[in-house]
């Protein structure tokens, strides 16, 4: 009986925590960190794990990948981007499915670890070859 009470209490506690956890994961980042995929104007590759997007007229976002999915690619290689969740609003790494097309051999999938909107000072400090 005591064991059943402990299990029931643990399940009730977990059930109370799940809505808060789900709401936190579903909540997008602050509005200034979000961008629309349709507003991406260009991209540049900084290294095997870093990609820069120009968005709109003056914003730049850095995408950090969890692996070296950009190895062997160039900035001119086309990106295959698909929004996740039915909207083109990108606020979190999970919101964007990204692949790099590699000639006729297929596409290299990328797992985005982090999306960061750069400040004007950070944009100005970018080397010319990686400014999108």
| pLDDT tens, per residue, the chain with 132 residues | 444 333 444 334 444 443 443 443 444 444 468 999 999 999 999 999 999 999 999 999 999 999 999 988 887 888 899 998 888 999 999 999 999 887 777 888 999 999 999 999 999 999 999 999
Instruction: Give the number of other Cβ atoms within 10 Å of residue 52's Cβ.
Output: 20
DSSP code of residue 116: E
Q: How far is it, in rounded angstroms, from Cα 67 to Cα 30?
A: 26
Long-range contacts of 85-91 (CB under 8 A, 24+ apart): 88/36, 88/37, 88/38, 89/28, 89/34, 89/35, 89/36, 89/37, 90/34, 90/35, 90/36, 90/37, 90/115, 91/28, 91/29, 91/33, 91/34, 91/115
CB 118 within 8 A of CB 61: yes
Q: How far is it, in rounded angstroms, from Cα 50 to Cα 44?
A: 9
């Amino acid at each position: 009986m005591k064991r059943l009470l402990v299990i029931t209490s643990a399940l009730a506690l977990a059930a109370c925590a799940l809505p808060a956890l789900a709401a936190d994961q579903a909540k997008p980042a602050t509005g200034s960190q979000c961008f629309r995929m349709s507003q991406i104007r260009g991209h540049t590759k900084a290294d095997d794990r870093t990609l820069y997007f120009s968005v709109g007229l003056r914003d730049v976002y850095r995408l950090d990948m969890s692996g070296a999915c950009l190895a062997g690619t160039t900035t001119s290689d086309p990106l295959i981007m698909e929004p996740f969740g039915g909207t083109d609003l990108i606020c979190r790494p999970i919101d964007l499915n990204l692949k790099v097309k590699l000639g006729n051999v297929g596409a290299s999938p990328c797992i985005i670890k982090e999306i960061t909107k750069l400040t004007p000072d950070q944009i100005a400090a970018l080397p010319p070859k990686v400014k999108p």
